[in-house]
């Protein structure tokens, strides 16, 4: 997907999400609409970090750009199903055991700290537990067979490396869900808002991936901003029974943090480009 086409599709999905948000406003009121929009912004920002990891996975396995779209399509379908199940379980657990929200808060604070100050870890799909178990029960081809996930070799069905990539992406997203789902519970416990904000954030991931693949170096501070957002939501959850933060305030804080991180990233990128231009122009 070209950068121009990816940007247009990303805009389409964002506009669609805003129209859905308008529908929430008209049907169930302003408060639920604000909850949805805040959750959508948080989930969308968290998905940026997911996509950078997906990019590393594609690079690790040497997946051709023309084949990445197919993996992303099926990957997003799997993400929607898996997150839906996790949200249903999470909602049931939270309503039964209120103290779990405090655990979610601690998880978010730790995740934010790890994201902000931890070292960038390399992708090691060969250590993926699900993949290791899968290899014990199903043979895997050593070579790609176009964009197919399964093929026949010597009369028997085998999985291709393309399916291995899909499996790694799906299981990696489950790990990321440990951050994203508790984050939305910090905004609302309404299962409809929790699921739909996740769903609308996920639907545009494919086009957003191709945008980030082109401009990833321009947003060096976005990850730090997302880490601060996680920390803020975590602290908010720990204090929820002592001090209530209105959803408008949370939305304003989240948008402010992400906006500042993007502006800082652009400013640093422009300064580096300017310094490089001056260096090249010098005799």
Rounded CA gap, 241 and 217, in Å? 41
Q: Is residue 281 part of a domain?
A: no
CA distance 233 to 62: 37
Of the two residues 49 and 62, the one the predictor is more confident about is 62
Question: Could you read off the pLDDT of 199-257 as tens digits, one per residue?
Answer: 888 887 778 777 776 666 666 677 787 788 878 888 887 887 777 777 778 778 888 88
Supply φ then ψ for residue 51, to 5 degrees: -65, -35
Mean pLDDT across the stretch 54-73? 77
Helix axes 191-203, 205-215, angle to 10 degrees: 50
Instruction: Give the range of the structural domain holding residue 50, as residue numbers without chain letter.
Output: 3-275
Eight-class DSSP state of 140: B
Cα 234 → chain centroid: 18
280 lies in some domain: no
Note whether residue 282 is domain-resident: no
Which tokens in the block code for residue 118? Answer: 């931890």
- The structural domain count of the chain equals 1
* Angle at 198 (CA atoms; ends 195, 203), nearest 5 degrees: 120
Query: What pLDDT sits at residue 149?
Result: 82
Name the nearest CA neighbour of 181 among 243, 108, 256, 73.
108
Q: Is 242 within a domain?
A: yes
Other residues' Cβ atoms within 10 Å of the Cβ of residue 117 = 9
Higher confidence at residue 145 or residue 158? Answer: 158
* CA pseudo-torsion sign 76, 226, 247, 33: negative
């Amino acid at each position: 997907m070209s950068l121009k086409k990816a940007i247009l599709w990303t805009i389409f999905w964002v506009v669609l999400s805003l129209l859905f948000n308008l529908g929430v406003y008209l049907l169930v009121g302003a408060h639920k609409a604000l909850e949805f929009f805040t959750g959508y912004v948080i989930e969308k920002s968290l998905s940026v970090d997911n996509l950078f990891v997906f990019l590393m996975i594609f690079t690790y396995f040497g997946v051709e750009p023309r084949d990445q779209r197919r993996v992303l399509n099926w990957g997003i379908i799997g993400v929607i199903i898996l997150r839906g199940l996790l949200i249903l379980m999470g909602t049931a657990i939270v309503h039964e055991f209120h103290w779990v929200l405090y655990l979610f808060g601690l998880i978010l604070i730790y995740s934010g700290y790890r994201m902000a100050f931890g070292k960038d870890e390399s992708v090691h799909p060969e250590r993926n537990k699900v993949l290791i178990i899968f290899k014990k029960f199903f043979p895997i081809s050593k070579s790609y067979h176009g964009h197919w996930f399964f093929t026949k070799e010597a009369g028997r069905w085998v999985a291709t490396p393309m399916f291995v990539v899909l499996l790694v992406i799906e299981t990696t997203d489950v790990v990321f869900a440990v951050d994203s789902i508790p984050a939305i519970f910090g905004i609302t416990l309404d299962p409809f808002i929790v699921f739909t904000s996740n769903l609308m954030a996920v639907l545009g991931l494919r086009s957003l991936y191709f945008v980030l693949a082109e401009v990833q170096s321009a947003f060096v501070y976005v990850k730090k901003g997302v880490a601060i957002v996680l920390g803020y939501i975590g602290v908010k959850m720990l204090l929820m029974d002592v001090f209530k933060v209105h959803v408008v305030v949370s939305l304003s804080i989240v948008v402010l943090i992400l906006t500042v991180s993007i502006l800082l990233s652009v400013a640093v990128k422009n300064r580096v480009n300017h310094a490089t231009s001056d260096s090249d122009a010098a005799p």
